[in-house]
Amino acid sequence: MKRIAFFAIFILAALYGQEEDEKVCLAPAQLTLSHHFGRGVGHKGYSSAELFFVNSQYMHVIPFVDARFHLMNEGRFATNVGSGFRYLMADDQVSLGLNAYYDFRDSRKLSTHQVAGGVEILSPYVDFRLNGYVPVGGTKHSEPLKFEAFTGNQIDVRRTTYYAFPSINGELGIPTPIIPVINTDFYVGVGPYYLFGRAVSGNKYPSAWGGKLRVLANVTQYVTLEFEMNHDHIFDTTYQGVASINIPLWKFSACRSGKKGYGKRPFYTRTLRPVMRNEIIPVRKKSDVYPLRDGSGNLINIVFVNNLAACPGLGTFESPFCSFASVPAQPVIIYAFQGGAPYVGNITMSLGQTLQGSATPLTVEGVTIPPFTAGNPVLTNPAGPAITLASQTVVRGFTIQGTGAGQHGIFGNNISNVTIEYNTINDAGFNGIEIPNHSGNVNIAYNEINRPGLNGISLDNSTNPGSAVVVHNTITEAPGSAILIRMDDPDAIGLIAYNTITKTINPGTGFDIGTEIYQGRVTISHNTTNSNTQFNVHGLDGYHVIANNQFVNTNPGASVGISYQTTPAGIDPRQVYIFNNHVTMAGINPGIVIQAFGSPDPVFAEIRDNIITTASTQGITVQSITPGAICTSISGNGAPTFTLDGVVGPINVKQTQAQYNTLNFASTGFTESGTVTFGSPCTPP
């Protein structure tokens, strides 16, 4: 009975205290500093500063402006700016409020803009709130797919997405009057919320219902403490504590007063305080792992080979084939591990296959798979080529160690669209790479070819259209030629660039780069050679651009740096553009030679801005040995001598003789013989 009596007295005291509190005054501008501890819905806590401006001078309408800045615990920020009003009615027993907000959140991968609005009904006894939030910009982001793991015969990838939820939330709030003993009023809010699902990068993320409970205590007029708990199946259960300090910015002047009654003072206080709403846009980071597919939605099929595995194997990552003989003749990726010893014998590829070594990154559908071993798998075949290509194949990341006499390292005949890159080919019995009669596109890049039996790389597209790209290769000690390309189609295109060639054996033989372009076009640029070859570049016919190369020819005998010749077999256009090359010669022949053989058709040659350094007095020579004229433009070069020799056909120079003599630097002099015409208006054919 004593406990019941004490409780009754406590309640009566609370009600009596409330009857005396009929007027509430707050500053018209309030600063609130707060910190949210723990996790919330789509965030990990934050600190806030809020400016709230309220005007209570009108009889029933209370307009307000609200601005909030938040510093997230991870160092990002968010903001809210809004305004609204509250309308007192029913003899100050009910307040109807409307508000609208603009929200912004800078999260790790999103900068999200949001519009929001809400309605609230406040009373001394119970409050109702309903808010809606609609992200309108920066709402979703997908990271590029990342390799996760090999599983069976598939490539598992991870997709990480970030997305902001549209949402609504409702709340039923129950206030208590001020309890005089502790001079504190409490507020309990409970209600549902709904997170709308999103579709991001083809993945559909579901919606979710959730519930929120919060308990707020106005400890003093200046200090507020709050506890929040949320639960939904996306963010699970989260807990937060909130501590706030409310600072009036000047003299109290925003007041509300009315008839005495239960809960009137906390009610009036709530009409002069900020809107209770979700301040932070909920953002979710979601990672999904699934098998990689191609653009048509088909699974990428990959088989594995490891000669350390038990034979025969299943071809899966967990149970690889022990040899290439078990690989099916299907368009698959063949992933070969380094193994314990060289793989012996020929690998004959099938249409559409990729042969991939385990020490080289593999990129499939934009996903890069890192190396799995430190060293390449090693191939050797005493009886033939190590690899025989098919059309639409790729060879990447192998070391070929020796093939039989007269056998190539990599070979493919009458094929199209192949890529050979990041391989090392040592001591091939014949050519390092040999592809005759190819069509389509051939790409040979980032390979190292050492000591082939004859040539490093030999390509011949016969009379087929297509392209030949040979870039970033290193070729050493090729006794014949390092790079040979032959094209005979008007739509054929060649690119030989950024290759490094070194040769110290068989002086005075072969070419560093040899091109036979009876029809088509080729560009030779940014290559570096240091060799004792016969020609650093030997180009026949067609359209050539030879530019920005560094050629060092260490052969003291009859050698040439850059040579361009026309033949009776060539077809127009016969044009060569040689510029910005640096040629260093140890021999007795010129650094650059243009010769017209066996053709009555005109030839155009532009030679500019080259530097020829030589131990002899030879520099740049243009020579016409057939009736066809040579039209040439020569300027900005530096060389020991310049020789124009119209032996049979005329040589027409675009520059006047004065320009020719002043625009070029000759340490020894200029020589003209035969028919040479300066100041000619000739143009490229």
The pLDDT of residue 557 is: 83
Residue 501 lies in a domain: yes
Q: What is the largest CA-CA distance in the chain?
A: 135
The pLDDT of residue 13 is: 37
User: Same domain, yes or no, for 311 and 274?
Assistant: no
Residue 291 lies in a domain: no
User: Same domain, yes or no, for 338 and 408?
Assistant: yes
Q: How far apart are CA 554 and CA 508, in angstroms?
A: 9
Residue 140 lies in a domain: no
Residue 203 lies in a domain: no
Stated pTM of the model? 0.81
Residue 151 lies in a domain: no
Task: Write out the residue range of the structural domain in which residue 416 sits.
Answer: 301-455
The pLDDT of residue 519 is: 87
Residue 516 lies in a domain: yes
How far, in whole angstroms, is CA 579 from its chain's centroid? Answer: 34
Residue 286 lies in a domain: no
User: Same domain, yes or no, for 93 and 68?
Assistant: yes
416: part of which helix (H) or strand (E)? strand 416-421
Q: How far apart are CA 587 and CA 536, in angstroms?
A: 12
User: Same domain, yes or no, for 255 and 319?
Assistant: no
Provide the number of structural domains found in the chain: 3
Last residue of a domain, one of 404, 425, 455: 455
The pLDDT of residue 11 is: 36
The pLDDT of residue 574 is: 87
Query: Which domain CATH number covers 229?
Result: 2.40.160.160
Residues 258, 261, 265, 271: is their CA dihedral positive or negative? Answer: negative
Last residue of a domain, one of 405, 438, 455: 455
Residue 515 lies in a domain: yes
The pLDDT of residue 589 is: 87
Q: Residue 21 has which token pair?
A: 């509190």
User: Same domain, yes or no, for 359 and 246?
Assistant: no
User: Same domain, yes or no, for 503 and 518?
Assistant: yes
User: Same domain, yes or no, for 171 and 218?
Assistant: yes
The pLDDT of residue 3 is: 39
Q: How far apart are CA 118 and CA 135, in angstroms?
A: 15
User: Same domain, yes or no, for 492 and 378?
Assistant: no
Burial tier of 600 (Cβ tally within 10 Å: 0-12, 13-18, 19+)? exposed
Q: How far apart are CA 99 and CA 94, in angstroms?
A: 17
Last residue of a domain, one of 222, 245, 280: 280
Per-10-residue mean pLDDT of the chain, 685 residues long, equals 37 39 73 96 96 85 96 96 94 92 95 98 96 95 95 96 96 84 83 93 87 94 94 96 92 65 78 93 93 94 97 97 96 96 96 98 96 97 95 98 91 96 97 94 98 96 85 97 93 96 89 92 97 92 95 88 87 89 92 82 91 90 87 95 91 94 93 93 77
Residues 420, 421, 423, 429: is their CA dihedral positive or negative? Answer: positive
